[in-house]
Amino acid sequence: MKTLISGGTVVTAIDTVVADVLIDGEVIVALAAPGAHRWADEADQVIDASGKYVVPGGVDPHTHMELPFGGTYASDTFETGTRAAAFGGTTTIVDFAVQVKGESLLDGFDVWMAKAKDNCAVDYGFHMIAGDINERSLSEMDVLVERGCTSFKLFMAYPGVLYSDDGDILRAMQKAAETDSMIMMHAENGMAIDVLREQAIERGETDPVYHSLTRPPSTESEAVHRAIVLAELAGAHLYVVHMSAKEAVAEIAEARDKGLPVFAETCPQYLFLSVEDHVSAEGFEGAKYVCSTPIRKREDGHQDALWMGLATNDLQVVSTDHCPFCMDDHPVLGTQKQLGVGDFTKIPNGLPGVEDRFQLIYHGGVVEGRISLNRWIELTSTAAAKIFGMYPKKGTIAVGSDADIVIFDPAVEWTKSVSQHHMDVDYSPYEGKDVKGRVETVLLRGNVIVNGDEYVGQIGDGQYLPRGRVTVHH
């Protein structure tokens, strides 16, 4: 089966060039000047992309489908969440398998592999959340690396649940250094935050906004600093997830300037939402925007600092931390965000975003003049593929790469709404936002899976993606 995508503007992290793209089977086999070869004659299918961008499918290295959290589950399953990802132009996700206290890493990994198997619309890999560091889990890290799970996430937050102390963290980092795998860190000082939360509740400060206010920027930047110090001690690679504070970005920038192999991501919610406009909304509305790290105050300049970090490469990736919970009862899962009415500490943490990210970063980044077209692709696809061992199979349009391709119409203007998205959640954090640019057609390994408003793929199209060891250093 040969497919020709003709006459579009091919945009990668490096180049912007009008070209024909020839696909044979699952991979890209050639690029050429438009019409230079008679490829249209031999192709089984020709897609006219004139006037459109032809870009690599998005890579979202941070999603939580079906994640158990605070007595409920993230409302998107692997099936609904990856279909929504496809609609949003993301063709690869890396989700998180979870080891809970008292269980083995390998058991957790197998459970999550089983959940995803035959259910995904896009290709998927796993990071492993190591929630119980001991001799056995450290030795199981070797096995997981062999199985293509080459990154391990630790938590400096959530004492008593997924929390690791500094000694555990150092041991895991030493093991990661030995196996050329990546340590991902949820960097917040969970011990201090727990005290502030308890004191807020005692004072009767129970509204959703206190979720943000009891996790001040210093609780993030202190943890980022400590994670960097420990990673340097261990000689390990470090990737800090969901950065939201400008003080934390400064810590990452300083480490990178010293030449340390330290990476960091942020997410759309931190770039577009604020305490003033969202979390402090009337009544319980602010619960829509409760996530950790928290949404921060616009007036303190965090959004601007994050966008600047993305532009200057102090931050390398935009992921989503997609972890949706419904405001009203979910038909199957029941009460979700409402668990926290009258007590913000009980609100499940997380927001939807897997369908929004690719387009939102185009709008806020390229249309609003903060980053280049090429940087958009680097932030939403290429960099994550490189950092997490998927490049050049994923993350670019090149001869031999998987034909994961998005045809993106930069001219369409539309308004974001829950009524238009495909994620299994009953609100959009971006309701009513006017945006420019829209995903039109999506190919996964050569097959069209989204055609305009229609999903034309099949459940189970997505395959497990074993990932390589860490090879990037800056």
The answer to whether 140 contacts Zn ion (rule: CB under 5 A) is no
Q: From the CB of 367, what's the least distance to Zn ion, in Å?
A: 27
Q: From the CB of 62, what's the least distance to Zn ion, in Å?
A: 6
Binding mask 317-356 for Zn ion (x = CB under 5 A): ----x-----------------------------------
Residues binding Zn ion: number (CB under 5 A): 1
Of 293 and 441, the one with the shorter C-beta distance to Zn ion is 293
| Radius of gyration (C-alpha) of the chain in whole angstroms | 21
Q: From the CB of 350, what's the least distance to Zn ion, in Å?
A: 8
**Stretch binding Zn ion (CB under 5 A), from 25-33, 161-169, 225-233, 316-324:** 316-324
Of 241 and 279, the one with the shorter C-beta distance to Zn ion is 241
Q: From the CB of 94, what's the least distance to Zn ion, in Å?
A: 11
Q: From the CB of 321, what's the least distance to Zn ion, in Å?
A: 4
As a whole number of angstroms, the distance between CA 408 and CA 421 comes to 17
Q: From the CB of 360, what's the least distance to Zn ion, in Å?
A: 18
**Stretch binding Zn ion (CB under 5 A), from 42-50, 115-123, 195-203, 313-321:** 313-321
Of 265 and 321, the one with the shorter C-beta distance to Zn ion is 321
Of 20 and 321, the one with the shorter C-beta distance to Zn ion is 321
The answer to whether 76 contacts Zn ion (rule: CB under 5 A) is no
* Closest to 1 measured CA to CA, from 316, 461, 464, 443: 443
Of 212 and 441, the one with the shorter C-beta distance to Zn ion is 212
Of 8 and 353, the one with the shorter C-beta distance to Zn ion is 353
**Stretch binding Zn ion (CB under 5 A), from 31-39, 161-169, 267-275, 315-323:** 315-323
Q: From the CB of 154, what's the least distance to Zn ion, in Å?
A: 12
Of 74 and 373, the one with the shorter C-beta distance to Zn ion is 74
The answer to whether 426 contacts Zn ion (rule: CB under 5 A) is no
**Stretch binding Zn ion (CB under 5 A), from 220-228, 314-322, 352-360, 416-424:** 314-322
The answer to whether 222 contacts Zn ion (rule: CB under 5 A) is no
- Residue ranges in contact with Zn ion by CB under 5 A: 321
